[in-house]
Amino acid sequence: NKPEPLKVMISGAPASGKGTQCQLITQKYGLVHIAAGDLLRAEISSGSANGNRAKEYMEKGQLVPNEIVVMMVKERLLQSDSQENGWLLDGYPRSLSQATALKEFGFQPDIFILLEVAEDNLVERVVGRRLDPVTGRIYHLKYSPPENEEIAARLTQRFDDTEEKVKLRLQTHHQNVESVLSLYEGITVKVNGNASKEDVFSQIDNALTNHIEQKNSTLGSM
């Protein structure tokens, strides 16, 4: 019998390292990475009415309304790859109403990871962040510089990655995080995100491995 696939949520302030850790987690665990922010940016690029509307909120660092976000995430979770391989939900839910909607649709995570990072580090991470549009990799001018000139020349910056906008995004995060956490109290793992990305990953890796081992031993004793 194939064991139930792993279902993970990852949360944390803007630029706390969610996307970076998700790239490491998917490499090792083969989960399907579903990032609410990436889904919204794809919608903006498509030029749709929903995309245009979402951008207005994202530029102000506010949550995009549920009628745009909730169905988008639900549909992605229901696709066969997420169902078969397990999922890693990044940046969703961000409010109690989103968490409740997800629960009503029957999506319950095994683990809820919260990345905790000091505020000064967040601002530095945001302004130095760069993205490779070809590979989707996340870089940082100081902490994860591009490997060569060719990559360096094509890096892009996100429209909401300014010091001013990250402060607004951070406010939104502080307003909502506690209520979301209250729903996942028993399965929350708090991770110190101030360390290097490898050290942060090893904390997450330990938590996921422990969870899988525990689950297997319970299954084995049944």
Choice among 41, 76, 94, 165 that is catalytic: 94
Output DSSP code: residue 187: G
Q: Which is nearer to ligand AP5, 86 or 91 (CB)?
A: 91
Does residue 125 bind ligand AP5 (CB under 6 A)?
yes
- Minimum CB distance to ligand AP5, residue 2 (Å): 30
Please confirm, yes or no, whether 125 is among the known catalytic residues.
no
* Catalytic residue (choose from 41, 76, 129, 165): 129
Stretch that binds ligand AP5, among 26-34, 100-108, 149-157, 193-201 (CB under 6 A): 193-201
* Cβ burial, residue 135 (10 Å; 0-12/13-18/19+): exposed
- Cα gap 197→22, rounded to integer Å: 11
Residue of 176, 178, 181, 187 whose CA lies nearest to 66: 176
Question: Which one of the spans 33-41, 106-114, 147-155, 207-215 is the region binding ligand AP5 (CB under 6 A)?
Answer: 33-41
Residue 210 tokens read as: 């422990």
Query: Contacts with ligand AP5 in 74-113 (CB under 6 A)?
Result: 91-92, 94, 98
Binding status of residue 61 toward ligand AP5 by CB under 6 A: yes
User: Using CA atoms, how far apart are residues 91 and 1, in angstroms rounded to an integer?
Assistant: 32
Contact between residue 20 and residue 2 where contact means Cβ atoms under 8 Å apart: no
According to DSSP, the β-strands at 188-192 and 111-116 are parallel
Residue 73 gets which letter from DSSP?
A: H
Q: Which residue has the tokens 């987690």?
A: 25
Determine which residue in the list 8, 25, 36, 89 makes contact with ligand AP5, applying CB under 6 A. Answer: 36
Active-site residue, selected from the candidate residues 55, 137, 158, 167 = 158
Mapping DSSP to helix (H, G, I), strand (E, B) and coil, where does residue 130 land?
Answer: strand
Residue from 18, 50, 101, 107 touching ligand AP5 (CB under 6 A): that is: 18
* Interface positions with ligand AP5 (CB under 6 A): 12, 14-20, 36-37, 40, 57-58, 61-64, 69, 91-92, 94, 98, 125, 128-129, 138-140, 143-144, 169, 196-197, 200
Residues that are catalytic: 18, 94, 129, 158, 169
